[in-house]
Structure 1
């Protein structure tokens, strides 16, 4: 039997504590569940992928529990016995069996890329066309503490040269209160660091028209998904009247979504999460659509662990279209380390891991420690 043949697929749910609670518009979390996907070949190579969503099923309808059920029950039978270098055909066949479930498919896509690259003895970015840079900028997500504590956290990151731009979540508080909070932070950091916001699609049109100009006035440099993802006309209207870029996140989960955003001129930037887009292969198509339309792309995060983050770093370093930095800070939020050698963050950037596959090695003792019983 060929050494590239997939012998088995195994899924494991992990629960990793965070260094502090991470808040979204509708929820917060103090630990991040991860679904670890391991694909083993007959040649003895193991490739890993990671199923992860930002804070649970509120974002896209998936959770680690649904991903595990879908992968174990429906995707594994499609791929066991196939070759790991048949990624295109495998993913097409999975589409015939499972609709949507893009976060689950992304985990499998990454595991296939990792296993294939390790079998060849090359890094994953080689399968994506090769890296043209060896690191990518990383924006840090600030917490939901009082203004003075948030500013102090940002200034500490600046002093340590860890991050030079920051993102604040909005949408959970009264819009007037939320706006004044963020405006105060932006004004305190003006001239020192870039500040951007993510409203997670929680404001309606009138709220956005009323408060977004105030944020721009205060020095916010970029506004992410202020209104519901399907309301592209509203996003386009806001883009026309605001003096700062609009980034689409919830609005873009597929190449067709990217095409519609481009056609309607609804955003200046697209947040490309390799997780929500269904993996590395589909993410490449989305970036290509954006590039053709002159839209910038940002390496966004679902608060991935080290496997998902490493995959996104390889992607960003091999894609010139990812040209507005990244938020690939996920492992820095984790209170526990899952790798034998951590990812390297310094000078506002994260380095491209070196070595075959994703270039990272899991600490299997740590994996066992955080495995959900």
Structure 2
């Protein structure tokens, strides 16, 4: 019989990448022209290396972390917990993370994914098999436009339809005057005349009165989903919007843990849960959160923090191994990058992204590109 692979974690390396975007991407509070990514590599004694990414959507305004803080947390506090232990002790390692670092879920997620990748590679199996095996081999992808004026949004939508077959598009709101913002979206919906699905994301920036004043006009225009229009901790208002507007509401900022999902369920505050493997602390916590939503009959959406290829592949393995992720995905992060830093790319076609084959996450780093994007 062949010798069992040595699963001992020998070292953990981190580096910050700054990867240019194909165009500026607007959030509710800022506009990004490049995506900072913490690339984490977990090296096993047997020579196998696994990769994970620490990524926040648009910077620390979203969840309080940044690539800079994540690097310190991983290097000084999480790596010492991992080194010297077998990667198959992943569940115990994650428990011990909580003994040395509170919260910091994005940093923990980068290590969780890198350990899953290393463990699966060492066993010669895909990450999805560590999560129970594939329930599907691809998933629908919504393309996010960010905050774009009509004259830029329409051509980009037409281009994405023609080239990649996208059928669903998300627009950011919350950065400008709500009346102007709403008028922009209503005009865009009229221009497209129902040819594609449109949804909006306010990134929790509207108060109750603003939401109740403007969401009805968006509902009348045919917007198919309202993502987190009001603050994360105000579940009462989120419930009121869910009941009054007649449009499905998705909780994103409100759900950063399984217990958060349970609170949304108890308050009947949303119809859909946005599952970001990054904000939830990794793949294991994402599985738990999906189970809570599924038990309550809520839909789940495979959301993104604009991860690069490794982080997106991890979310894709999770989404394809989790039947509860039944409301499509937004796993388009690599498509927004001007260049890749893997030797092969995820495959996007017909409005979907396909699960990669091969051991681990199914991707290999392009060493030259990684070096080129590495921050000094």
Same fold judged by TM-score > 0.5? yes
Does the 8 Å contact 2:277/2:315 carry over to 1? yes
Q: Which of 363, 366, 370 is residue 373 of structure 2 equivalent to?
A: 370
Matched, 1:167 2:170: yes
For residue 229 of structure 1, what is the aligned residue in structure 2? 232
Q: Which runs of 5+ in 2 are unaligned?
A: none
1:99-114 mapped onto 2 (5 Å cutoff): 99-114=102-117
Q: Which of 26, 31, 35 is residue 29 of structure 2 equivalent to?
A: 26
**1:39-64 deviations in Å (ceiling 9; x for gaps):** 00010000001000001100000000
Q: Displaced runs of 4+ in structure 1, greater than 6 A?
A: none
Q: Which runs of 5+ in 1 are unaligned?
A: none
CA-CA distance at 1:186 after TM superposition = 1.6
For residue 272 of structure 2, what is the aligned residue in structure 1? 269
Go from structure 1 to structure 2 and tell me whether the alpha carbon gap of 1:196 and 1:70 turns closer, same or farther (over 3 Å shift). Answer: same
Secondary structure of the structure 2 residue equivalent to 1:43 = coil
In structure 1, what is the Cα distance between the partners aligned to 2:207 and 2:195?
31
For residue 349 of structure 2, what is the aligned residue in structure 1? 346
Does the 8 Å contact 2:242/2:270 carry over to 1? yes
Matched, 1:152 2:152: no
1:301-316 mapped onto 2 (5 Å cutoff): 301-316=304-319
Question: Cα RMSD over matched residues?
Answer: 1.0
**1:295-337 deviations in Å (ceiling 9; x for gaps):** 0000000000000000000000000000000000001110011
Given the two structures, how large is their TM-score scaled by the length of structure 1?
0.99
Matched, 1:49 2:59: no
For residue 119 of structure 2, what is the aligned residue in structure 1? 116
Does the 8 Å contact 2:55/2:305 carry over to 1? yes
Matched, 1:282 2:302: no
Does the 8 Å contact 2:11/2:83 carry over to 1? yes
Q: How many residues align?
A: 373
In structure 2, what is the Cα distance between the partners aligned to 1:303 and 1:149?
21
In structure 1, what is the Cα distance between the partners aligned to 2:162 and 2:372?
34
For residue 180 of structure 1, what is the aligned residue in structure 2? 183
Does the 8 Å contact 2:142/2:168 carry over to 1? yes
CA-CA distance at 1:149 after TM superposition = 2.1
Secondary structure of the structure 1 residue equivalent to 2:274 = strand
In structure 1, what is the Cα distance between the partners aligned to 2:195 and 2:75?
48
**1:244-265 deviations in Å (ceiling 9; x for gaps):** 1000000000011000000010
